[in-house]
Amino acid sequence: MNRKVSKKAIALVLVLMLIVTTLFACNDPSSGPSTTPEATEPKTEPAATEPAATEPGKTEPGPAETEEPGLIGEGLKAAMILPGPISDIGFSGPAYDGLLRMKEELGYEISFAESVAAADYENVFRTYAADGFDIIFAQGAQFLETAMLVADDYPDTWFAVSSAFATNEKNISGWNLSSHDVGFLVGILAAQLTETNKIGNVSGAELPPLVMINDGIRAGAAYINPDVEVINIWTSATADNAQTKEAGVALLDSGCDILHSSAGVGTPGVVSAAAEAGKYLIANSADWTSVDPDTVLTSAMAGWSTAAFNTAVAFAQGELQPRPYMNGIAEGAVYLADYTAKAREVIPAEVFARVDEIIEGILAGEIVVEDEVAKLP
C-alpha cells in the first residue's frame, strides 16, 4: 500500500544528508591545505666503525663514533695543504678524501692546495690563515717546522699536521696513523701463510713510520709464531721499481716465501719480484691489489681520510687539544682491504677466522698492539 511522505519527513531526511556530506568533506584527505612537513636535507650516515677484515666490498671505515655526527662543522672553514697531487692514491689523495668528507658529512667549507713545493709552504699557510680558515690541515711531517713558525702569528687558527709528534702547546696538533697497527695486521696474516718461517719486507727510506711498520710486522708475526723471522731491506725515499724489485728478489733468494712492501710508489717492483717467483705479497697504505690481483692478496690500509675526518670532528666539537693524536685499528683508520679472489682461493678459512679474532680482540681492548711491540727484543 502506498503511503504519502509528509513534507516534515522530507525536510528531516535532507538535513541528515547535508550533515553526512559535510562530515565526509571535512575528513577527505584530498581536500584543504597539505599537512606534509617540509623536506629536510638528509644527513650522510658515517661509514662502519668496526672494520671487519674479511667482508667483501670493504672500504675505509669511518671514525669511532656510534652516532651520526651531523653537520657540526657548519660555519667552519677547513683548508688542506698537500705535498703531492690529489690523484696520489697512497698519501695526498686519501687525505683529500678526508677533506671532502668534512664538507659532505660535517658541513665545513673547504679549500686545498696540492703539489705544494717546500719554498711555498709558508706563503700557503699564511694565505689560508689570513683568509679566515679556522683549521689548516697539512699532510706530512715536513710541514711541521713551517706550522710552528706561522702558528704564533695566527692564534685563532688551528694547525693540524699529519705524522707530527711535536706541538707549540697552543694551536698545533698532530693527526697520525698507528704504523705499528699497520705492520701488526701484516704480521698476523703473513705469519700464518709462510712455510719457511721467513717474511720479507721491502721498505723505503729509514724513516720513523717505516721503522714502526717493520716493528709492527715483527710483533704481529711473533704473536702468531715466535719462530717467524722478518727480514727487512731499506731502499730509499725515491726508490724506483727496478731497485725495489731487486730488493724483493734478494729477500726471496734468502728464503722468504711471502713479501710485504712499504716502498710506496716502488711497490709494483716488489709485486713483480713476487709474481715471477710464484709467491704472494701483502701491501700497505693503498689498495695495491689492482696491480696484480693474483699476487697481491690484500693491503693493510692506513686511512688518512679517517684520521683527518676524526680531527675535524674533534675540532668542531671544541675537543681538539694541542697534542699528537694516534689513529689505529680501534679508531677505524687502520684495517685490511678486501681480500682478492686469489686470496680467498689460497688462504685457509681458519686463517681468516684467526685474523678476525685478533682484530676483535684489539677493538675490545683485550690485545694492545703497543704492548706486543714492547715485547720485541
CATH code: domain of residue 312: 3.40.50.2300
Query: So what's the pLDDT on residue 207?
Result: 82
Query: So what's the pLDDT on residue 68?
Result: 66
Instruction: Say whether both 245 and 343 belong to one domain.
Output: yes
Considering the domain boundaries, does residue 122 fall inside one? yes
DSSP state for residue 142 in the 8-state scheme: G
Q: Are 191 and 226 in contact (CB under 8 A)?
A: no
Query: What are 338-368's pLDDT values in tens digits?
Result: 999 999 999 999 999 999 999 999 999 999 9
Instruction: Say whether both 84 and 191 belong to one domain.
Output: no
Instruction: Say whether both 192 and 276 belong to one domain.
Output: yes
Considering the domain boundaries, does residue 44 fall inside one? no
Take residue 375 and report the three cell numbers written for it: 715485547
Instruction: Say whether both 210 and 309 belong to one domain.
Output: no
Handedness of CA 114, 120, 124, 127 (dihedral sign): negative
Take residue 117 and report the three cell numbers written for it: 713545493
Considering the domain boundaries, does residue 45 fall inside one? no
Query: So what's the pLDDT on residue 15?
Result: 36
Question: How many structural domains are present in the chain?
Answer: 2
Q: Which residues of the chain are modeled with pLDDT < 50? A: 1-59, 61-66
Query: So what's the pLDDT on residue 286?
Result: 83
Instruction: Say whether both 146 and 232 belong to one domain.
Output: no
Instruction: Say whether both 209 and 139 belong to one domain.
Output: no
92-101 and 304-316 are packed helices; what angle lies between their axes, rounded to 10 degrees?
40
Instruction: Say whether both 348 and 213 belong to one domain.
Output: yes
- 39-43 long-range contacts, CB within 8 A, separation 24+: 43/68, 43/70, 43/71, 43/105
Considering the domain boundaries, does residue 57 fall inside one? no
Instruction: Say whether both 148 and 98 belong to one domain.
Output: yes
370: containing domain = 179-302+335-374
Query: So what's the pLDDT on residue 101?
Result: 97
Query: So what's the pLDDT on residue 208?
Result: 84
Query: So what's the pLDDT on residue 89?
Result: 80
Instruction: Say whether both 133 and 92 belong to one domain.
Output: yes
- 44-47 long-range contacts, CB within 8 A, separation 24+: 44/104, 44/105, 46/105, 47/332
Instruction: Say whether both 266 and 351 belong to one domain.
Output: yes
